[in-house]
A and B are shown apart, each in its own frame.
Chain A
Amino acid sequence: MRTSNYISIFFDDEVPLLQAVGKLRENDLSIIDVLSPFPVHGLDEALEIKRSRIPVVGFIFGALGAVLAFGFQAWVFTVSYPLIIGGKPFFSAPAFIPITFEMTVLFSGLAMVAAFLIRSRLKPEIRFESVNERVTDDRFVILVAAQDVESTLKKVKSLLEGIRTIEIS
C-alpha cells in the first residue's frame, strides 16, 4: 500500500520533459513540481510560472549601493577628512567610480541572494527529503498530484505513450 499522494515521472533529457509537461497540463493533471539538475529553458512558460521579481530587488539595492558609496566618498573627501591626493581636487568623481561600481555589484548581489532565501523560506534547520538523488545529477522529475494513485498512474502512462520516460511510479 503506498502512502504518497503523488506520482513521479522520470526523464533523462529536457526535451521529453517539456513535451510531457505540455501534455499533462492539457489534460488537466495538476503538476506539484518539476525537479531538474539545471534551469530548463521554456519550463517556466510551460508551467505558467510568473516571472521572478528578484531583478527588481537587484536594481533597487544596486542603485542604493551606488548612491551610498558615491555619497560616502564624496562626504569623506570633502567634509570629513579632506586630503590632497596627487594634486587632484577634493571632489574628484573619476576616483570614486571604481568603488561605486564595486558597491553597486555587492549590494545588488547580496540583496538578491537574501531576497531569494527569504522568499523561498530557506533557513539552516530546513531539511529536504529528495525524491531521488539523481535529480541533482542527470535526472528530470515531474511530480503529479494524485487523489487516487492507481487510476492516475494508468492515465499518465497512457498519456505519455510515445514520450521517452525512464520510470513512472
Chain B
Amino acid sequence: MSQPKIAVDLILKTLTESTEQVKTRAQKASEVLLGPLETDLAVTPYEVVYEEDRVKLKHYMPEKVTHKIPLLVVYALINRETVLDLQPGRSVVRTFLDKGIEVYMVDWGYPTRKDRYITIDDHVNGYMDNIVDVIRERHGLAQINLMGICMGGAFSVMYSALHPEKIKNLVTTVTPTHFDIDTGLLNIWMRQTRALEIGDVYGNMPSDVMNLGFLLLNPARLILDKYVGFLENMDKRDFVENFVRMEKWIFDSPDVPAATFRQFIEDCYQKNLLIQSRMELGGHRVDLKRITMPLLNIYGKFDHLVPPEACERLTRAVGSEDTEDICLNTGHIGIYVSGKYQAEFAPKIAAWLKAREDHGEKTVGRESTDASAAEKGKAASAGQKASITAELRRPSRQKNREKTVSGKGKTPGKEKATASDVTSAPTGRRRPKRP
C-alpha cells in the first residue's frame, strides 16, 4: 500500500488546536450540565375535563376566545402529544391559544397489557366519539373542529368519515392515508416483514422496539451524528436545553395496544384499505366520500416517516369540495418543533379555521326532528332530555385553490399558504380563482 499523501504535521497541528478547544468546551459543558437546566415539556396550563380508562382530555383555555368553535387535537398513539407544547416560543398549543382558539387535546396515556385487546374501532368509535360528544355538550355545539396528527390524523379521517355530522372542519397534518408506496422505509418494512407479530408476543407493541425501529431508519444521523452534534455544542445552555427536551420527548413512548397495532399494519400498511374506502371499523365501512366538511391537509416534503406520497392523495379521495394541500419544506417533526415553521403552520390553520367558522352553520336547538338516535342517546346519558340537532345542510361549494408556489424561499414567512417554503398543491377538482 502506498503512503498516504496527507501532511502528517498538518494533522498533528490541527489535533493540538482541537484538543485545546475540546478542553475549553468540556469545562464550559460541565458548568452547563451541572447547573440548572429548564427542560420541562408541556408547560402550558391545562385542565383535565374528561377521563376514560387510560385516556384523558386536556382543555386549554385562551385568554380571549375569538373562535366560536373549539378545536380537538388528536395525536398519534406513538410518542406523546407533548411535542405540540414543547417549550415557550415553540408551542403549537400556545399559538392556537394566542389566536383565540379553545383547544382540547387527547392524551392517550400509557397502555398496559390490559389494553392489548383495544382495537382501532375502540379508539375511534369509542374514546374519540365520547370525547367529541363531551366537547359538543360543553359548548352546546352540533359540530367541532378536528385536527389529527400522523396516526391521530388517520384516526381523525376515519372518525370524520363515520361521524361527519359532528365535525365542522378537518385538519390533517403529516397524516398517512395511502400506504402502498415505496418511498418510505416504514412502508417497505411493514409490508415485507412480520413486524405485526411482535405486538402479539409482547402483549403490546413495546415502545422500546418501536423507538429502535425509528432509530434504524437513519442510524448514521440519529444514532451517531446527533450525539456528535451534542458533544460539539454541549457548552451552550440553550442548545443543551432544547436537545434534552427533544430527547425526553422522543424516548417518552407509550406501548401501542397489540390489537390496534396489528390492525393498523394489516389494514393500512399491508392492504392499504383506508385510501380505497374499504377499511372497516366495528362493522362500518370507512367511506372517505362521506368526508364532506372542509379539509386542510398539511405534510412535509422531507418527511421520511410519512412521505408526501402517503399524504397527498387524501384530498382527492374525500367528498369535500373545499380541500387544500400544503406541503412544507420540512420533515415529520420539523413542522412542530421548528420555530420557523411554527410561525407559518399554526397561524395558517387558525386563519383557515376562522374563515370557515360560519360556513354551513348548524343551528343548535332544544328540539329536532332529524336528530339521530345515537346523538339523542348521548344527550340522554348526560341527563338532558333535549337532543342536539343533526340537521344537515349541504356545505356551499367553495372553489378554493391556491396557486402552486415553488419552495425556493423567496419571501419571508407569512401566514398565507403562498409563503416561502410552502407549496400549496391543487387538489384537482376546482378551477383556479380568477384575479
Is chain B found bound to chain A in the same assembly?
no
Which positions in B face A, CB cutoff 8 Å?
Answer: none
Which positions in A face B, CB cutoff 8 Å?
Answer: none
